[in-house]
Copies of this chain bind each other. A is one copy, B any other.
Amino acid sequence: MGLRYLEDLNVGMQAELSRVLDDAAVRAFADVSGDTNPLHLDEAFAKDGPFRQRIAHGAHVASLVSAVMGVELPGPGAIYMSQTVQFLRPVRIGDTVRAQVTVAAISPETKQVTLACACLVGSRTVMRGEAIVRMASRAERGS
């Protein structure tokens, strides 16, 4: 993975990844975050809840767009400044989540890049939001 600079980006560039949030993935996320809410882990508890079944952690779904940003677009060299997310629909255990990131705006003055973020299950948007990252400028570095 090469380092990415501000000049490597254009508005409209898009990248995505897909990931299955199966039982093992959800339990691993509970471990790594400490969020052991039974809505995610306990079928009997979740059956009586609003979704009638266990669902994946919202923060897990959100982490997938940060993975696209960390690995693909912008990729290494981007510094994560801020993120907004809205959770629109539950993600069920075993759903395949497609996380998409699109370059929405680039500010040469602040070197900040605004990225539109969305997660889909099939054709339905389950999460959307916006991220801001800061990039180094190749011109500035003389490289």
Contact residues of A with B, CB < 8 Å? 1, 17, 19, 25, 28-29, 31-40, 45, 50, 57-60, 62-64, 66-67, 70-71, 75-76, 79-87, 136
Residues on B with C-beta less than 8 A from A81 are 86-87
Supposing A17-B34, A34-B17, A71-B35 touch, asked if A59 and B62 sit within 8 A by C-beta, the answer is yes
Supposing A28-B28, A45-B76 touch, asked if A62 and B34 sit within 8 A by C-beta, the answer is no
Residues on B with C-beta less than 8 A from A58 are 66, 80, 83
Are B87 and A84 in touch, CB under 8 angstroms? no
Supposing A34-B19, A80-B87, A86-B82 touch, asked if A57 and B66 sit within 8 A by C-beta, the answer is yes
